A and B are shown apart, each in its own frame.
Chain A
Amino acid sequence: MPVEIPVEQWPGRVIEETLGATPAEGGTRSRVVKVGGENTLPFMLTDGEMPNPPRIAIEILDQRPKDWSPLLLEAWGDVVDDPAKWAKAAEEAGADLVLLQLSLTRDGGKPTTAADAKALTRAVLQATGLPILVFGPGQVDADNELLVAVAEEAAGERIVLGICEEKNYRTIVAAALANGHLVNGRTAMDVNLAKQLNILIADMGLPLDRIIMDPTTASLGYGIEYGYSVMERLRLAALQGDKMTQLPMLVTPGFEAWRQKEAKVGEGVPASWGDWRQRAVLWETLTATNLILSGADIVVLRHPETVKRVRAFIDRMMAK
């Protein structure tokens, strides 16, 4: 008996956004990366289309990480001392995008200056041909000062500036507007809050196709269900036609997974947890793949082995 597979047609579609600009477009990237554009739930390719697969960004820091797991430091080796080399290594490891995370202070505890931020951005842009994202240290005054400098330095490159929050978005959005960039807005695991920040940013005149939303998530075992559910609801709203939710979603499973002891440490945990190396990479991989299944368009990862596995997962899911 022939079985008819029911097809779910959605009236809405996620906005397709372009990260990076090639020389022809006023930038220096070797290629652009498109995200979003789907009109179906993740990988439901019988229902609709997913013109762009979920993208992988690799997070690099502006200096040797102080509190990262030794497994991560071991995996990257000496490049962590030089953001330019790290960016290049990230590209080689299979990233679609490179995310440069700025710190509050430089070596010796001096505050990171606007000049530092510019130099770092320039160095990373020169080291990789991938589109980049640059996130501030997460402290209002520092973010505003550094990201304005970054935006100016990278004018025309269509980078993603982050992180906009409800209490601090104006300066960052203005810098993105003035220099042709995108912004990433983060809200605390709530559908309405996510939508509100999108509206606030759009109200400043930034087109929706230059806004990415980060609904915040959690690691496997630490509330991922909650984050998953919020992302799923956001995506369902977008597909049902709610304009202010039709933005690609970026989440940070690397950060979330690697701050939990299951991934971070190998000592003082029950023997039944098994091999640390395997467990750590699995923790990050499963966190990331779950979030991709809930609608993530960009996952920010840390371990090169995770990148391989998540890439394999995406490829398998996208295969017709």
Chain B
Amino acid sequence: MVTVVFRPEEKRVEVPPGTLLSDAARLAGVDILMPCGGQGRCGRCAVVVESGSVRRRSTQRLTPDDIAAGYALACQTLVESDVVVFVPPQERIERRIKETKRAAKIELPFPYDRHDQPLRKFAVTLEPPSLADQTDDWSRLQREMARRYGIRNLQASLPVLRKLPRALREGDWTVTAVVELDAWDRPEGPPRLIDVLPGEHLESLWAVAIDIGTTSNVVWLVDLMRGQVIAQAADYNGQIARGEDVISRIIYASKGNGLQELQELVMGTLNRLIAQVAAEQNIRPDEIYKATVAGNTTMIHLFAGIPPESIRLMPFIPVVNQVPTFPAREIGLGINPEGTVDCLPGIASYVGADITAGVLSSGLCDSDELTLFIDVGTNGEMVLGDCSWLISCACSAGPAFEGAGVVHGMRATAGAIEEVWINPETYEATYKVIGDERPRGICGSGLISLLAEMFITGVVDKSGNINLDLPTKRVRRGEHGPEYVVAWADETATGRDIVITAVDIDNLMRAKAAIYAGFSVLARSVGLTLQDVQRVLIGGAFGQYINVEKAIQIGMLPDMPYDRFHFLGNTSVRGAYYALVSREMRRRVTEVGRMMTYLELSADNTFFDEFNAALFLPHTDLSQFPSVAALVGEG
């Protein structure tokens, strides 16, 4: 017999060698949660072996660092000698799981140089006019800017000129000129006077980076003096009420004054966000002098008020891939009306500026490693390539992973079930809710986790059909056909059962199949296989919360070691930020746009085949998913 001591409770128990730590814990009266029923799948029973010898039967869910630190899964670890085990508090485990399975942010990958971006502030003091020097105000300013700063041929619009006399005189002939030396579509200038302020105001210089997603909009307030993001705000796109996906928005825009309405709605959202970040820094929105904008092609069209109809119709051509630079006043964007709006370049109707921004900010184009970049969103855009070539496609995954098209789906906010475990013996579900509240629904990551668990435990077959013969009340025939009860009414915030229906599962299956089929077709189009991919970069706000293991189990992501996956969060707004703060980045994103090949899947006859093959758990060709095959005992 050997002795197992469980700290911090200092409970001890004698067991024969070869006993599972989880059994020893039960005998010792130590409570260790095992939501997956002791299958080694959820990682929630992780403990720290402080001394003694153990054998880990499975280290799934543990990283090499974890193991080095003594972590072991109680349900998978056999004691071999006297051991001392520390049982960490539950919330520590959760945090650890989150940190190892989900990724971190990327910093600005280059040193900031404020002279490598075109927006400047110049303090300038003019000789006051006199009867002897009767030069007009504007020429006087131009003359001094040229003399003092070498800025020639300064241009100004009428609204700025109207401000000039008062600023000069209020500032007693000392003013701060906000000048944009060049812009995206006029890299050689001429410089343009955007604002003129009485006195000297050189402390800060504000601009915003904007991402217009179909679902959410993000604004980053950037101080161009330091190059840093000072404030962030995000909210749902006000257009959602007029359609969940781009196609329904395009249709809405084509009716009556739908286009104008949609533009006003998104402008409403953005202006509220801009006002919010401005208020946080105690500045006025008109002190923000520039906006750099990324977004999918439809969103950019609607933002600029350009009719998007042609995006939807064969042969799927946008009006413009890169909108020329224009002042904010032309569209009512709530920054300084003379401030420049730069939209990043898109590639095609369904691979937009959000993707070029993503490629730029993810570093895909800086490495010679074969990289797959995917923006997990409604449109499921993806890019394969390295520093010398890029190919992209978009597979309409639908909004299922964003909670739409699923009866109890919701976005990833408080009250959303974000992870589920199903006990393989009893088919009982345990779940984790964002904000530790009573659940109100299931978000995208929860749906992936739920589908994976239902598959692994046999609640659904490989086609996703719910097995109604299981001995549990959780499977039943509901008003939408077969369904599985994730949370009973008395556990939920709504007082109603939270279920996943056969129809929901079909939608999820189609979404994941579209994404994987996209990968397959992209790889095949260049004569490679997914096994050749060295890095997978996952962007998109929802992408941050995907559990790779579960996403592989359902066959949504290719089966490869977890350390090849990197989560980047919102790569679109980050790309806009890079392009805002650096001319070099602005140049590079244009180049990304030029070098990327676009594969139109509707013109590709292998997509449908690949889609049907992927419409199975994990895939019709199980050999593409060796880790899942091993898990379900078919390895």
Contacts and interface: CB of A to CB of B under 8 A. Distances in A.
Interface of A: 166-167, 170, 190-193, 195-196, 199-200, 203
Contacts of B469: 170
Contacts of B613: 192
A200 B612 contact: no
B620 interface: yes
Given A166-B463, A166-B465, A203-B462, 4 more contacts: A170-B467, A192-B609, A192-B620, A196-B616
B615 interface: yes
Contacts of B461: 200, 203
Contacts of A195: 620
A170 B462 CA distance: 13
Contacts, number: 30
A196 B609 CA distance: 13
Interface string B451-463: 0000000000111
A179 B616 CA distance: 29
Interface in B581-635: 609, 612-613, 615-616, 620
B620 A199 contact: yes
A106 B462 CA distance: 37
28 contacts: A166-B463, A166-B465, A167-B465, A170-B467, A170-B469, A190-B612, A191-B609, A191-B612, A192-B609, A192-B612, A192-B613, A192-B615, A192-B616, A192-B620, A193-B612, A195-B620, A196-B462, A196-B463, A196-B615, A196-B616, A196-B620, A199-B462, A199-B616, A200-B461, A200-B463, A200-B465, A203-B461, A203-B462
B192 to A, nearest CB: 58
A200 B462 CA distance: 7
- Interface of B: prevailing SS: loop
Contacts of A199: 462, 616, 620
B629 to A, nearest CB: 12
Contacts of B620: 192, 195-196, 199
Nearest to B623: A242
Contacts of A200: 461-463, 465
A193 B613 CA distance: 7
A167 B505 CA distance: 13
A170 B467 CA distance: 9
Nearest to B632: A203
B358 to A, nearest CB: 31
A173 to B, nearest CB: 11
A196 B463 CA distance: 8
B38 to A, nearest CB: 23
A234 to B, nearest CB: 12
Contacts of A192: 609, 612-613, 615-616, 620
Nearest to B467: A170
Interface pairs A-B: 5 shortest CB-CB: A192-B612, A192-B613, A192-B620, A196-B616, A166-B463
A195 B612 CA distance: 11
Contacts of B616: 192, 196, 199
- Which of A167, A193, A196 gathers most chain B CB within 10 Å? A196
Nearest to A188: B612
A167 B620 CA distance: 16
Contacts of A191: 609, 612
Nearest to B463: A166
- Which of B609, B613, B620 gathers most chain A CB within 10 Å? B620
Nearest to B481: A167
B98 to A, nearest CB: 34
B459 to A, nearest CB: 13
Contacts of B463: 166, 196, 200
Nearest to A171: B469
Nearest to B614: A192
A200 B615 CA distance: 13
B564 to A, nearest CB: 27
A195 B609 CA distance: 12
A166 B463 CA distance: 7
- Which of A191, A192, A193, A203 gathers most chain B CB within 10 Å? A192
A178 to B, nearest CB: 14
A190 B614 CA distance: 13
Contacts of A203: 461-462
A139 to B, nearest CB: 16
Contacts of B615: 192, 196
A197 B616 CA distance: 10
B168 to A, nearest CB: 74
A196 B462 CA distance: 8
A167 B535 CA distance: 37
Interface in B463-515: 463, 465, 467, 469
B340 to A, nearest CB: 51
A141 to B, nearest CB: 12
A195 B463 CA distance: 11
Interface string B85-128: 00000000000000000000000000000000000000000000
A192 B469 CA distance: 26
A2 B217 CA distance: 76
A12 B373 CA distance: 38
A256 B616 CA distance: 29
A20 B469 CA distance: 30
Contacts of B609: 191-192
Interface in B201-215: none
Nearest to A244: B620
A233 to B, nearest CB: 10
B533 to A, nearest CB: 22
A20 B609 CA distance: 36
A195 B613 CA distance: 9
A203 B462 CA distance: 9
A199 to B, nearest CB: 6
Nearest to A204: B461
Interface string B343-368: 00000000000000000000000000
Nearest to A195: B620
A4 B592 CA distance: 55
A195 B620 CA distance: 7
A238 to B, nearest CB: 14
A115 B162 CA distance: 96
A193 B614 CA distance: 10
